[in-house]
Amino acid sequence: MERQDPADVDEAVYDAVEDIPSGRVSTYGAIGRLVGVGPRRVARALAQGGGAVPWYRVVRADGTAAEPVRARQLELLAGEGVPVRNGRVDLHTVGWPD
DNA sequence: CTACTGACTAATG
DNA sequence: ACATTAGCCAGTA
């Protein structure tokens, strides 16, 4: 039986991230659950080739952004119409999936 | 094979 | 709210 190739998992992650509607955000854990991998695997996929997907719509479980892209992500989210509050996103309001 | 690192998460003090 | 610890998973040396 074929196991999931690394590229296959990456595609699943990208697909889930692209599914996030504008003005909404998701978390590494949520995406990981959808594709059936751990949150760290999601982060690695985005860090590797997230340039082709709206990676900025993916934040941490507490609504904060990751360090290496923190400022950039908050800026992009604000530009998408996401209410950012003190460098933090309200997952209760813009969290996805509901 | 072992050790280290990292765009993570949850629990604890 | 913040710092620390433990758990987890994949890539790289």
Domain membership flag for residue A69: yes
Domain membership flag for residue A75: yes
The mean pLDDT value of chain A amounts to: 92
By the 8 A CB rule, do A56 and A82 touch?
A: no
**pLDDT given for residue A76 in this prediction:** 95
- In angstroms, how far is B1 C1' from A77 CA? 44
What's the pLDDT tens digit per position in A23-35? 999 999 999 999 9
Q: Which amino acid is at A93?
A: T
CATH number for the domain harbouring residue A42 = 1.10.10.10
Domain membership flag for residue A25: yes
Domain count of the fold of chain A:
1
Domain membership flag for residue A24: yes
Closest nt to residue A28, judged CA to C1': B8
Give the global pTM.
Answer: 0.92
d(CA A14, CA A63): 20
Domain membership flag for residue A1: no
Domain span at residue A39?
A: 6-94
Domain membership flag for residue A44: yes
For CA atoms A18, A30, A40, A74, give the dihedral sign: positive
User: Residue A8: pLDDT above 90?
Assistant: no
**pLDDT given for residue A2 in this prediction:** 59
What's the pLDDT tens digit per position in A39-70? 999 999 999 988 899 999 999 999 999 999 99
CA-wise closest residue to A25 among A62, A67, A68: A62
A44 in contact with nucleic chain B (CB within 7 A): yes
